[in-house]
């Protein structure tokens, strides 16, 4: 069977070598001169410049000098046109990703270099050995990396308890488990093959993913041969060694670059093996979702869930605690090398406990038993092979799902032990919900809002420091039995405090120290969780400042190639601003509860970004302020406030369409048990009050009557029911129409305010200053008026 696989690989590689040109085997990162048209245009322009230069050298006079000067300008213009065409395609692809709401594709797209400056990976990074001595020799560095990964991927935890899996519930076999045991059919293999990404690094067999997709629609020759090999492996045949082997690419995370522990190893695997792994993943994922194998708290690598869901849970939980004046004690847990610490023998037992049939477990084991790896450094050097007996293969599509199933086992034991501790049960966070008949203590603990998980990023919460310490003690002890280690240095606690009523406020409380199972965790006042900044007071100021810096970093990235070029296409600048900078500015904005000053901060940043696109810059000496309303009309986009409100309404509709048991939906409409009431006076602004304000601003009841009530044009009385109609499509369209009404009213108000200020000054200029004010730094009688108008808007925002 190994010879059959080798024959297919050799045939595909041979055909590619014969039929494909070297041009198609470029590196993944695209360049502005990759297209044939761009290269031909550049070659023509260079030939003209070369001929003009020879002509000037032969006859140096004014006429030949003008010809040479025009030829040089032609080369610059050709390069600029090619760069703009390249960015046009980049922005078009980015806009399509946003249209399809493909967040995975979005982040892959943003991480890809645009290829404008041709930056490559750096040279060999110096690292320290086990004794802290800095290594500079290439051979010594390569051997050091081999020793590091050999130790990491072959070391069992001394606290591992192989019998701990007996405490995990055994799920019975069902009809769905029998489907898992069946051999893969051709449709599954085809779907898995199409799911492979293009321009991916090849594995040990050097076979690119694109070569597996050469079949026509009528004759799937390659897919049928692959399926035949998969069936043989599934029925007990030997798996080819190339499918098991991995080339480890070292990726820097953060911290000291000379410390090997600050790097992550990504496995470059065979694409043929990836097809079989993807087939298994698709089946197993559907099985886990249908049979509730994974806990509700787990949102990592699951369909229909994202980082925004967990970020919303944290922010909303903090709001509910402040509303009931309940301080919440949170701990953000960091696991040391979580994927690399999974014990494989224990994993097979956990999979069996989850009800996964032995036939599928046997195929999964074949990917891991007898696995080898070698390290590849930045300069392409490869180390010697070494065996791998521990952990999951980072880079394999099965690994995230296998880790989720494995991680669910200790969580099941942890919840059981929580229910046996009176202090933990008393101080868990519960929601006011309908009582369920016959519900026991364990079921009540499971329904409590005690944890938030995104793969190995975990967090727990309690209403007391003692309760949190007891929870962490159980968590650390159970994780140790499963071979997982909680990092004491990176695990931090955060107290979500309540709003103080007395004036002046009391002095800050002493620093909280949580001790659990011999570990002591530091307290922090803010924590970066899944890309969002969570702080103890729930304030958004520092988060918005961070997002503003991220937006300006996007502008800086394209400054030389686009934004600093006077002749660059204006619409391309505006589209790139919206596709990257504004998205970076507003990441996670649907989970925010901003006050008026926060909208002002966002508007200031957005205003400056718009002015940069229009062409105003202070350092050029031509800077002249346009009002925010004028800048919006010039670029043709909506205000940042309208965008935030629109995304919050769309997110609310998506949460309303979730099943009733989903954690974001329970918290969106929920209330915490215990604590105090909101009290007298104006209540603190929260997410629901912002949502109600959004509906008012967007005229959600536009066209609604007493006889025929509607919300955003959907014939329903309650907005949460309107969001579910026809999969939420009418809700989505209604929100977009509401945003248009909001912007029309907003511009009308700004025009009226500008007209009233002009009347007070006795100005007899044009009534509509938004349409007639000069742009691009042009002078004129309205320049001072526009500057004063912008200052007046800033004053209005502050007051």
CA distance 398 to 180: 15
Q: Are 555 and 608 within 8 A, CB to CB?
A: no
Q: Is the pLDDT of residue 472 over 50?
A: yes
Q: Is the pLDDT of residue 726 over 90?
A: no
pLDDT score recorded for residue 455: 84
CA distance 672 to 313: 13
Q: Is the pLDDT of residue 610 over 70?
A: yes
pLDDT score recorded for residue 680: 64
Both 377 and 471 in one domain: the answer is: no
pLDDT score recorded for residue 76: 86
Split at pLDDT 50, 70, 90, the class of 770 is very low
Q: Is the pLDDT of residue 506 over 90?
A: no
Both 80 and 148 in one domain: the answer is: no
Both 188 and 284 in one domain: the answer is: yes
pLDDT score recorded for residue 288: 93
pLDDT score recorded for residue 769: 44
Both 282 and 391 in one domain: the answer is: yes
Q: Is the pLDDT of residue 593 over 70?
A: yes
pLDDT mean over 142-149: 93
Looking at the chain, the whole-number percentage of residues with pLDDT higher than 90 is 48
Least confident interval from 85-89, 142-146, 547-551, 744-748: 85-89
CA distance 722 to 733: 12
Both 107 and 152 in one domain: the answer is: no
Both 407 and 382 in one domain: the answer is: no
Split at pLDDT 50, 70, 90, the class of 99 is low
Higher pLDDT, 644 or 580: 644
Split at pLDDT 50, 70, 90, the class of 362 is very high
For residue 744, being part of any structural domain is answered with: no
Give me 398's structure tokens: 């099965």
pLDDT mean over 439-467: 91
- Closest of 542, 233, 459 to residue 363, by C-alpha: 233
Q: Is the pLDDT of residue 752 over 60?
A: yes
Higher pLDDT, 792 or 45: 45
Q: Are 248 and 375 within 8 A, CB to CB?
A: yes
Both 460 and 425 in one domain: the answer is: yes
CA distance 496 to 536: 4
Q: Is the pLDDT of residue 26 over 60?
A: no
Instruction: Transcribe 80-145 into DSSP letters.
Output: HHHHHHHHHHHHHHHHHHHHHT-HHHHHHHHHS--SSS-----SPPPEE-TTSPEE--HHHHHHHH
For residue 51, being part of any structural domain is answered with: yes
Split at pLDDT 50, 70, 90, the class of 419 is very high
Split at pLDDT 50, 70, 90, the class of 564 is confident
Both 267 and 413 in one domain: the answer is: no
Both 498 and 414 in one domain: the answer is: yes
pLDDT score recorded for residue 744: 95
Please write the tens of the pLDDT for every residue from 661-681: 899 999 998 899 988 876 666
**What torsion do the CA atoms of 427, 432, 436, 440 make, to the nearest 10 degrees?**
0
Q: Is the pLDDT of residue 90 over 50?
A: yes
For residue 563, being part of any structural domain is answered with: no
Q: Please give the tally of structural domains in the chain.
A: 3
pLDDT score recorded for residue 798: 37
pLDDT score recorded for residue 768: 46
Q: Are 663 and 712 within 8 A, CB to CB?
A: no
CA distance 535 to 526: 4
Q: Are 519 and 375 within 8 A, CB to CB?
A: no
pLDDT score recorded for residue 88: 75
Q: Are 703 and 710 within 8 A, CB to CB?
A: yes
In angstroms, the Cα distances linking 730 to 99, 357, 707, 722, 727 are 16, 43, 20, 8, 8
Q: Angle at which helices 271-290 and 358-368 pack, to 10 degrees?
A: 140
Both 394 and 406 in one domain: the answer is: no
pLDDT score recorded for residue 216: 63
Residue ranges making up the domain that contains 90: 30-111
Whole-number average pLDDT of the chain: 84
Q: Are 205 and 245 within 8 A, CB to CB?
A: no
CA distance 269 to 419: 43
Split at pLDDT 50, 70, 90, the class of 2 is low
For residue 427, being part of any structural domain is answered with: yes
Give me 357's structure tokens: 């049939």
For residue 327, being part of any structural domain is answered with: no
For residue 426, being part of any structural domain is answered with: yes
Please write the tens of the pLDDT for every residue from 264-300: 888 899 999 999 999 999 999 999 999 999 999 999 8
Q: Is the pLDDT of residue 771 over 70?
A: no
Both 448 and 386 in one domain: the answer is: no
pLDDT mean over 207-217: 79
Residue 627: other Cβ atoms inside 10 A: 24
Split at pLDDT 50, 70, 90, the class of 20 is low
Phi/psi at 31 (nearest 5 deg)?
-115, 160
Please write the tens of the pLDDT for every residue from 225-240: 889 999 999 998 899 9
pLDDT mean over 64-84: 86
Instruction: Transcribe 289-338 into DSSP letters.
Output: HHTT-S-TTB-TT-TT--HHHHHHHHHHHHHHHHHTT--EEEEEE-BTTT
CA distance 531 to 583: 13
pLDDT score recorded for residue 474: 96
pLDDT score recorded for residue 456: 84
pLDDT mean over 707-730: 90
pLDDT mean over 201-214: 84
For residue 103, being part of any structural domain is answered with: yes
For residue 157, being part of any structural domain is answered with: yes
Both 81 and 168 in one domain: the answer is: no
């Amino acid at each position: 069977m190994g010879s059959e696989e080798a024959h297919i690989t050799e045939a595909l590689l041979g055909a590619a070598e014969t039929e494909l040109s070297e041009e198609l085997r470029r590196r993944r990162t695209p360049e502005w001169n990759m297209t044939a048209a761009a290269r031909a245009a550049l070659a023509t322009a260079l030939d003209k410049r070369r001929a003009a230069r020879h002509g000037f050298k032969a006859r140096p006079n004014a006429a030949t000098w003008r010809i040479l000067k025009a030829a040089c300008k032609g080369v610059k213009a050709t390069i600029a046109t090619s760069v703009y065409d390249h960015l046009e395609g980049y922005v078009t692809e980015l806009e399509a990703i946003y249209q399809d709401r493909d967040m995975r594709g979005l982040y892959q797209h943003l991480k890809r270099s645009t290829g404008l400056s041709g930056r490559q990976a750096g040279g060999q990074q110096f690292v320290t050995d086990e004794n802290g001595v800095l290594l500079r020799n290439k051979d010594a560095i390569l051997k050091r990396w081999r020793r590091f990964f050999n130790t990491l991927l072959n070391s069992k935890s001394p606290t591992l308890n192989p019998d701990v899996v007996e405490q995990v519930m055994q799920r019975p076999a069902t009809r769905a488990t029998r489907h898992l045991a069946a051999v893969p059919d051709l449709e599954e293999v085809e779907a898995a093959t199409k799911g492979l990404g293009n321009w991916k690094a090849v594995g040990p067999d050097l076979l690119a993913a694109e070569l597996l997709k050469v079949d026509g629609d009528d004759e799937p020759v390659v897919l049928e041969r692959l399926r035949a090999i998969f069936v043989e492996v599934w029925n007990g045949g030997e798996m080819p060694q190339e499918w098991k082997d991995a080339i480890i690419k070292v990726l820097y995370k953060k911290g000291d670059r000379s410390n090997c522990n600050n790097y992550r190893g990504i496995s470059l695997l065979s694409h043929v093996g990836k097809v079989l792994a993807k087939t298994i993943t698709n089946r197993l994922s559907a099985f886990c979702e249908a049979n509730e194998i994974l806990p509700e708290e787990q949102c990592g690598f699951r369909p229909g869930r994202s980082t925004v869901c967990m970020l919303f849970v944290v922010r909303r939980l903090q709001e509910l605690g402040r509303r009931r004046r309940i301080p919440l004690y949170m701990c953000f847990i960091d696991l040391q090398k979580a994927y690399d610490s999974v014990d494989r023998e224990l994993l097979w037992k956990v999979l069996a406990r989850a009800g996964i049939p032995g036939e599928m477990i046997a195929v999964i084991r074949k990917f891991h038993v007898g696995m080898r790896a070698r390290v590849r450094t930045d300069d392409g050097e490869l180390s010697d092979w070494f065996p791998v007996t521990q952990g999951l293969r980072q880079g394999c599509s099965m690994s995230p799902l296998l880790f989720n199933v494995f991680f669910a086992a200790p969580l099941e034991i942890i919840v059981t032990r929580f229910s046996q501790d009176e202090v933990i049960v008393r101080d868990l966070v519960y929601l006011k919900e309908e009582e369920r008949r016959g519900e026991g203590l364990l079921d009540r603990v499971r329904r409590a809002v005690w944890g938030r998980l995104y793969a190995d990023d975990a967090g727990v919460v309690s209403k007391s420091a003692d309760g949190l310490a007891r929870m962490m003690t159980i968590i650390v002890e159970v994780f140790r039995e499963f071979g997982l280690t909680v990092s004491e240095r990176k695990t931090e606690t955060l107290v979500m405090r309540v709003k103080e009523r007395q004036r002046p406020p009391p002095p800050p409380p002493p620093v909280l120290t949580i001790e659990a199972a011999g570990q002591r965790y530091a307290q922090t006042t803010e924590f970066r969780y899944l890309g969002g900044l969570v702080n103890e007071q729930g304030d958004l100021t520092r988060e918005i400042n961070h997002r503003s810096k991220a937006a300006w970093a996007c502008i800086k990235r394209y400054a030389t190639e686009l934004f600093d070029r006077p002749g660059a296409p204006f619409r391309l600048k505006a589209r790139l601003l919206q596709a990257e900078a504004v998205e970076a500015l507003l990441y996670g904005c649907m989970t925010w509860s901003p006050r008026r000053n926060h909208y002002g901060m966002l508007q200031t940043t957005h205003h400056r970004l718009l002015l940069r696109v229009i062409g105003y810059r202070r350092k050029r000496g031509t800077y002249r302020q346009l009002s925010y309303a004028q800048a919006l009309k010039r670029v043709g986009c909506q205000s940042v406030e309208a965008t935030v409100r629109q995304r919050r309404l769309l997110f609310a509709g998506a949460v309303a369409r979730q099943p009733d048991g989903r954690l974001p939906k329970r918290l969106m409409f929920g209330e915490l048990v215990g604590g105090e009431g909101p009290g007298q006076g104006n209540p603190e602004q929260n997410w629901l009050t912002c949502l109600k304000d959004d509906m008012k601003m967007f005229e959600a009841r536009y066209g609604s009557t007493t006889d025929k009530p509607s919300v955003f044009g959907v014939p329903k009385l309650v907005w949460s029911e309107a969001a579910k109609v026809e999969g939420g499509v009418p809700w989505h369209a209604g929100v977009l129409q509401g945003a248009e009404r909001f912007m029309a009213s907003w511009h009308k108000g700004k025009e009226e305010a500008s007209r009233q200020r002009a009347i007070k000054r006795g100005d007899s200029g044009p009534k509509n200053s938004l349409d007639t004010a000069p742009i691009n730094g042009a002078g004129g009688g309205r320049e001072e008026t526009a500057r004063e108008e912008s200052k007046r808007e800033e004053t209005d925002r502050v007051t």
